[in-house]
Chains A and B, each alone.
Chain A
Amino acid sequence: MSCQELVELVTDYLEDAMPPEERRAFEEHLGICPGCVNYVEQMRKTVATVGVLREDSIPPEARESLLSAFRDWKRQ
């Protein structure tokens, strides 16, 4: 497995969606290639970083209007 092939399999690897043989080849490659170790680590950090992006603000008007829709619904 070349480095160029490995970078295309990183998601399969992180998702644990690899046949055992491929996984073995992937991990063997990591055992001898610091560049790919760094690459996989960068991908992990990318995932973690995207994970902190979520913004939780709801516009107050939207919240108000949903609340009043809820109260109407409850009265029915």
Chain B
Amino acid sequence: MKTAVLFLFALCLCAAIVEAGDFKVAFEKYQLKNGMRVILCPDRSVPVVSIYVIYGVGARSEEKGRTGFAHLFEHMMFQGSANAPKGRHFKLVESNGGTLNGSTHPDYTDYFEVLPSNNLAVGLWLEADRMCALAITEENLANQKEAVKQERRLSFDNQPYATAIVDRWPQISFTNWSNAHSLIGSFEDLNAATVEDAVNFFKIYYAPNNAVLVVSGDMNVLETKRLIETYFGDIESQAQPKHPDLSEPASPAPRWDVYRDTLAQVPAVVIGYPGPVRRSPDYYSLAMLDILLTGGESSRFQQNLVKGRQSVVQYEANLGWPFASATDYKDPGHYAMFLLHNPNFTAKQIVEQVEEELASIQKDGVSEKELNRARAYFRSLYISQLQSSLRRAMLLGKYELLDGNPDYINTEIASYLAVTPDQIQVAAKKYCNPGRRFVLEIIPAEKPEK
């Protein structure tokens, strides 16, 4: 749950709940011969259609010496393809009344176009053309290395807290290099990337059998299927990519580190606890615990820390923070939080106060009444996000890629709703204790170092 969007990379809403019978998101799933999975989710009320392509590759697929490659590659996907030369992708989408973007995550990379529904074919044609024949050239690669460096300067190096969170926090909270390295990468590694690296990366990871295509919104289903077969049907499949070992030690030693931030003026602290396996019972319990602690005005952090003690100024927290939300959290990850705090309190005091809040649930549990509030809060957020065709497409695509079951969009809420006060108490005890805790203090530094 977030109380403020502090960072450019702050990601999606946490998931929430629809009670069975509220309504159903109707969709259809099938597979092309080349292995590409397709999900169609029609809704004809507004003449808007969203196209979403999610690939099973992310920063955790990177190798040593090539950090930032997944993200660099996301940029390359907008640099032109065989029939849509450089600049054409943006131009075609926007000149047809649409918007587009892409984003890189630890476990996946995704792309979307939202278009007036008469122009669905244009979007499909563009996505197919770059999946089929991306233009990977020296010039494009050099240009995008520069763009990524600019992005790094803008979004990280020139922003308070960002470097601590993006570069430092993963190093403290993970042991396995695949999880611990920087998502945006180092300038050295970016410089070292070659065209050959890019070609290989594309071939392995951007194959149709490593992708899910979702079309959501206003469409004629038969016509859409015909278009998809025409544009994507003959793209060749590749050997299924290997996935790196992402395992973390079962009981990592707790760590506490300090980062001096020359751009920050208010102190902050990051706290994290290694989280459960995706879709295990504990995963749902921790997601509900998070809402009790940090979801909305009535949450415990808001009432007790922000207002009661006036120690915390703003916070963000969720399962998977800062790189994932509860819906796209994929193990291993943390239940983690960022707390911007009043300088009259030390980081140590803030950590103690957070753990007092946790201890109160560990000791006394939660009432059914309080949990019901959290359920209603969650359900409302969840339904809200489903209003947008793009959000429906994103959820369906992630459920398919990460779980192989897009119907979670309709059924998973039951798992959140079913969490009991006892389960929350047990999960709080099991996961949130100082013996398995990582802390990063971010202290405003007096003078710039340079």
Chains A and B are bound partners: no
